[in-house]
Amino acid sequence: MSSLVSRRAMLAGGGAIAASLATGVAAERILPSAMIPLIGPGYRPIDVDERGLWQQYARVEEEIAGSNLLIKDPALTAYLRDLIGKVGGPAAKDMRIYLARIPDFNAVMFPTGFAVVFSGLLLRMRNEAQLAGVIAHESGHFLRKHQLRQWRDQRRKTDIFSILAVGAGVAGAGVGIYTGQIAQLGQLGTILSLLQYNRTLEAEADAMGARLLAENGYPPIEMANTWQQLIDEEKLSAKYRRKRYHRDISLLSTHPAPESRMADLRISASELTVPGRAYDNGRARYLAAIADIRPMLLDDQVKLNDPGASQYIIDTLAKDGWNGLLRFYEAEIWRLRNRAGDDLRAAQGYAAALAYPDAPADAWRWHGLMLMKQGHAAESRAALSHYLAMKPNAPDAAFVRQMLMEPNR
Amino acid sequence: MIRKLSCLALALSIAGCTGGVGGGEYGFNSPYSLVRATDITVGDDSLVVTAPHEWNRARPFFFDDVRWVEDWTLNGPSLDSMSFVSGLPGGKYLVRQSRRADRQVPKFRSDMTAPEVAAMIESLYRVRAGTVDFRTIALQPRPFVGTNGFQFDYEHLDTDELWRRGRAVGAVVNGELYLIILDGARSHYFDAAAPDFEAIVNSARIRR
Q: Where are the domains positioned within chain A?
A: 3-272, 293-405
Q: To the nearest whole number, what is the mean pLDDT of chain A?
A: 81
Chain A interface disruption, residue of B64, B93, B99, B102, most A CBs within 10 A: B102
Residue A355 reports pLDDT greater than 70: yes
The pLDDT score that the predictor gives to residue A161 is 43
Residue B120 reports pLDDT greater than 70: yes
The answer to whether the CB atoms of B122 and A303 lie below 8 A apart is: yes
The pTM of this model reads 0.85
The answer to whether the CB atoms of B139 and A395 lie below 8 A apart is: yes
In chain A, % of residues over pLDDT 70: 78
CB-nearest partner of A369 from B104, B113, B163 = B113
Q: Give the count of beta carbons closer than 10 Å to the beta carbon of residue B190.
A: 21
The pLDDT score that the predictor gives to residue A164 is 40
Q: Kindly report which listed range (A90-99, A390-399, B21-30, B42-51) carries the lowest average pLDDT score.
A: B21-30
The pLDDT score that the predictor gives to residue A188 is 59
Please indicate whether residue A157 or residue B188 has the higher confidence score (pLDDT).
B188
CA distance A148 to A142: 9
Query: What are the backbone dihedrals phi and psi of residue A320, each rounded to the nearest 5 degrees, phi first?
Result: -90, 10
Q: Kindly report which listed range (A26-40, A200-214, A272-286, B159-173) carries the lowest average pLDDT score.
A: A26-40
CA distance A233 to A134: 17
Interface of A with B in 61-100 (CB under 8 A): 67-69
**Dihedral sign, CA of A26, A32, A36, A42?**
positive
Q: Tens of pLDDT along B164-202?
A: 999 999 999 999 999 999 999 999 999 999 999 999 999
Task: Tell me the chain B residues in contact with residue A188 when contact means C-beta distances shorter than 8 Å.
Answer: 159, 161
**DSSP percent split of chain A into helix, strand, coil, nearest 5:** 65, 5, 30
Paired sense of beta strands B163-173 and B147-158, if any = antiparallel
- Interacting residues of A193 by C-beta distance below 8 A, sequence separation 6+: A165, A166, A171, A173, A178, A182, A185
The pLDDT score that the predictor gives to residue A379 is 95
- CA A254 to chain CA centroid, nearest Å: 22
- How far separated are the first and last CA of chain A, in Å rounded? 70
CB-nearest partner of B161 from A69, A365, A402 = A69
Q: Tens of pLDDT along B148-170?
A: 999 999 999 998 889 999 999 99
| The listed CATH number (3.40.1000.10, 3.40.50.720, 3.10.180.10, 3.30.420.40) that belongs to domain B2-206 | 3.40.1000.10
Task: Tell me the chain A residues in contact with residue B90 when contact means C-beta distances shorter than 8 Å.
Answer: none
What would the DSSP string read from start to end of A340-400? Answer: TTHHHHHHHHHHHHTTSTT--HHHHHHHHHHHHHTT-HHHHHHHHHHHHHH-TT-TTHHHH
Quickly state the pLDDT bin for A257 (edges 50, 70, 90).
low
- Helices A199-215 and A128-143, axial angle in degrees (round to 10): 120
- H or E, element range at A159: helix A158-167
Yes or no: say if A152 and A49 are a contact pair by the CB < 8 Å rule. yes
The pLDDT score that the predictor gives to residue B4 is 52
Task: Tell me the chain A residues in contact with residue B101 when contact means C-beta distances shorter than 8 Å.
Answer: 241
Closest CA in chain A for residue B100: A241
The pLDDT score that the predictor gives to residue B62 is 57
Residue A300 reports pLDDT greater than 70: yes
- H or E, element range at B72: strand B69-73
- Residue B84, CA distances (Å) to A57, B39, B48, B165 in order: 44, 14, 10, 17
CA distance B40 to B200: 10
Residue B77 reports pLDDT greater than 50: yes
Closest CA in chain A for residue B90: A338
Q: Where are the domains of chain B?
A: 2-206
Most confident option among A170-174, B102-106, B154-158? B154-158
The pLDDT score that the predictor gives to residue A5 is 27
Yes or no: say if A71 and A147 are a contact pair by the CB < 8 Å rule. no
Task: Tell me the chain B residues in contact with residue A189 when contact means C-beta distances shorter than 8 Å.
Answer: 130, 159
* Biggest distance spanned by C-alpha atoms of chain A: 78
The answer to whether the CB atoms of A369 and B161 lie below 8 A apart is: no
A369 shares contact with chain B (CB less than 8 Å): yes
Q: Tens of pLDDT along A102-150?
A: 998 888 888 889 999 999 999 999 999 999 999 999 999 889 888 777 7
The pLDDT score that the predictor gives to residue B61 is 63
The pLDDT score that the predictor gives to residue A95 is 92
Chain A interface disruption, residue of B123, B153, B159, most A CBs within 10 A: B159
The pLDDT score that the predictor gives to residue A367 is 97
The pLDDT score that the predictor gives to residue A408 is 56
CA distance A346 to A328: 9
The pLDDT score that the predictor gives to residue A23 is 38
Most confident option among A143-157, A220-234, B53-67? A220-234
The answer to whether the CB atoms of A398 and B141 lie below 8 A apart is: yes
Quickly state the pLDDT bin for A56 (edges 50, 70, 90).
confident
The pLDDT score that the predictor gives to residue B21 is 37
The answer to whether the CB atoms of B159 and A167 lie below 8 A apart is: no
Q: Kindly report which listed range (A194-203, A218-227, B73-82, B157-166) carries the lowest average pLDDT score.
A: A194-203
The pLDDT score that the predictor gives to residue B101 is 86
- H or E, element range at A286: helix A283-290
Domain A293-405 listed as CATH 1.25.40.10: yes
The pLDDT score that the predictor gives to residue B46 is 93
The pLDDT score that the predictor gives to residue B23 is 40
The pLDDT score that the predictor gives to residue A336 is 96
In chain A, % of residues over pLDDT 90: 53
Helix, strand or coil, per DSSP, at residue B176: strand
Closest approach of B167 to chain A, Cα-based (Å):
14
